[in-house]
Amino acid sequence: MATQCARTPPERPVALLRAPEGVGGERFFLKHAGKAPLPGLRELDAHLWPGHEPLLEARTREALLGAVQMNTLEFHAWNARLPRLDKPDRMIFDLDPGEGVDWRAVCEGARLVRERLGR
């Protein structure tokens, strides 16, 4: 029986950053199963995003492990939950450091974001 994974938000579509040839090879985002579905990933109802192929969901440990086995480097869960994909319920500030940016500067940027948000 599949188990719910505590680290993956439930009821959110997911896009995967894959690198089938390894970290140094070509990378691409996968939002739809296409012709080669990954083990454990669930296709969502196509009506959730009209005009597009069905989105994917990774709700179980088996789905996460299956995606990793197929060289998934990153999991990008949507900011909205099913079925209201047009109503995000969270916002993410991605503070990736650029080339030559010191980690302390990234930490200071995170503190400033938190301060400006009033927390």
Write out pLDDT tens, residues 75-87. Answer: 999 999 988 999 9
Q: Which residues pair with 16 in a beta bridge?
A: 30, 75
In terms of Cα–Cα distance, which of 18, 76, 14 is closest to 41?
14
Confidence of residue 40 (pLDDT cuts 50, 70, 90): confident
Among 27-36, 39-48, 77-86, the minimum mean pLDDT is found in 27-36
**Whether residue 116 sits in one domain with residue 80:** no
Under 8 Å between Cβ of 45 and 54: yes
Q: Is the dihedral of CA 97, 21, 27, 32 positive or negative?
A: negative
Residue 32 clears pLDDT 80, i.e. is over it: yes
Domain assignment of residue 10, given as a range: 1-88
By CB atoms closer than 10 A (0-12, 13-18, 19+), residue 49 is: middle
Mean pLDDT of the chain: 86
Residue 97's pLDDT is what? 83
Instruction: Tell me the mean pLDDT in the region 38-58.
Output: 89
**Whether residue 101 sits in one domain with residue 57:** no
Structure pTM?
0.73
Under 8 Å between Cβ of 75 and 14: yes
**Whether residue 104 sits in one domain with residue 53:** no
**Whether residue 113 sits in one domain with residue 57:** no
Could you tell me the maximum CA-CA distance found in the chain, to the nearest angstrom?
Answer: 46
**Whether residue 102 sits in one domain with residue 46:** no
**Whether residue 64 sits in one domain with residue 36:** yes
**Whether residue 109 sits in one domain with residue 77:** no
Residue 1 clears pLDDT 50, i.e. is over it: no
**Whether residue 81 sits in one domain with residue 117:** no
